[in-house]
Amino acid sequence: MFDDTIAAIATPLGEGGLAVIRISGPAAVEVADRCFVSAGKAAVKLSAAPTHTIHYGWLVRDGETVDEVMAAVMRAPRTLTREDVVEITCHGGLLAAKLALDAVLASGARMAEPGEFTRRAFLNGRIDLAQAEAVADLIHARTELALAAANEQLAGKLSQRINQLRDEMVRTLAHVEAHIDFPDEDIAPNTRQQLIERLERGMAFMDELLRTSREGQILRRGIRVAIVGRPNAGKSSLLNQLLGHDRAIVSEIPGTTRDTIEETANIRGLPVVFVDTAGLRDAGDVLEVEGMRRSREALGRAEVILHVLDASEPLTKGDAAFLEEFAGKTRILVRNKIDLPMRLVLPAKAGVDGGSPPERGFPALPGDASQVRAGQELCASRVIDVSCLTGQGIEVLKDAIKETVWKGEIRAEMLQVMINSRHQEALSRARLATERTVALLKADAMLELAALELRIAVNAVGEIVGKTTTEDLLDAIFSQFCIGK
């Protein structure tokens, strides 16, 4: 429990119907008493109010009315932080909420730091560290699947499995250390084999969790998809179609998009950050040069490329150069403008969506062998035909984007144990230390060495749920939270 009392606005800043000022700490009710005046026939001081009750009244400061509010009194331990908590609901708006918070701070509370309410919930034992991280995931979730995964983690599904793993490892460690304390009693061969098998089962479980790390990170932060191609291929039109609304300016004038445009969309349950880039060509002015530089930068950070080609025109030298340049990237080739007569003909290939009928050879400009290579490279990538004018093929493209980054179905049980990058790093250390422990036991090495490695593994697993942690680790995690959470 903490000695001081903190307060912050717990709702997003901006105009709105309501805002909530959250107060937590040993003096939360007393602080609220100093600035809240109960009204109505059932008026009562908050310090005399029963727990988990709501009261109508006025928020005051220096005898002046600040706002008409509702105050909810919640006494420890059945609260968010396991401390006394008062939540004051006032009118929304930047000024109204700020004045209400100022009145609370003037009554004896201090301003909360980012994530301090959740940090207190963790330190007071209400939730573990994995559940605390799930609070942030819940707030930042951008799709229903991400929200479901965060709720599963907040409910303790991942923590339960991590604790089971740690308990098994602690029991094994206790067994090894018992034999160290009584050196006259050697570990029987069958007992040593049982310990090895138990640790190997733990390693298999770690492997199972580690395999979820990529999917977990996709749900939490999304994937970056860069839309590239030469000017007027239809990149901005494609972005608008994928988003379902007009976000980028569309014009027949080449080079309309001078800067990168980023927007997040829900694609088959996955958060996808689409980046519309400036058309790739020889830049004509200083602004276009900067646009090209930013496009290249966006390409470097993208996990998937949507390379847009104009189906109404033959392949150009520029197209061929970009096809070769992006050959090493995960990409989908998008033939746009299929509502117009088709002039960009590709050889048919099994498994290619929207492929053209078989043709003899590949159309190339005379004497330009690079276009033939580009044609062969084009056929090696997945091709989707779309019309950004009519919307034809857009749903097929969405399926292709999802299948490119996430193979198979997204099952509900998968959402329960999707680890994040911090969990992945801790589990990787734990697995390596466990592997070394098994090798030492198999080699009949000194038990002290095996115990040392196994203790490293136990501590690494404990970091995930916060059973072994440091102040620096807590600062790194909770500093990412918003103030008021």
More confident residue, 406 or 202: 202
Q: Which residues, in sequence order, are bridge partners of residue 263?
A: 274
pLDDT for the residue 406: 82
Q: Which of 95, 163, 100 is nearest to 128 (CA)?
A: 163
More confident residue, 281 or 396: 396
How far is residue 199's CA from residue 358's CA, in Å, rounded to a whole number? 57
Mean pLDDT of the chain: 83
Q: Which residues, in sequence order, are bridge partners of residue 87?
A: 22, 72
How sure is the predictor about 284, in pLDDT bands with cuts at 50, 70 and 90? low
Residue 59 has pLDDT above 90, yes or no: yes
SS3 216: helix
Residue 358 has pLDDT above 80, yes or no: no
SS3 90: strand
65-76: b or e for each residue (b if 16 or more CB lie within 10 Å)?
A: ebbebebbbbbb
Residue 178 has pLDDT above 80, yes or no: yes
CB 116 within 8 A of CB 4: no
pLDDT for the residue 259: 54
| Averaged pLDDT, 314-335 | 82
Tens of pLDDT, residues 370-385: 443 444 444 457 889 9
* Structural domains of the chain in order of their starting residue, each with its CATH number: 6-112 (3.30.1360.120), 131-212+418-478 (1.20.120.430), 223-405 (3.40.50.300)
pLDDT for the residue 319: 77
How sure is the predictor about 40, in pLDDT bands with cuts at 50, 70 and 90? confident
How sure is the predictor about 15, in pLDDT bands with cuts at 50, 70 and 90? confident
Residue 353 has pLDDT above 60, yes or no: no
Tens of pLDDT, residues 425-458: 999 999 999 999 999 999 988 889 999 999 999 9
SS3 60: strand
Residue 294 has pLDDT above 80, yes or no: no
How far is residue 485's CA from residue 478's CA, in Å, rounded to a whole number? 9
- pLDDT above 70: percentage of residues in the chain: 82
pLDDT for the residue 349: 42
| Averaged pLDDT, 14-30 | 94
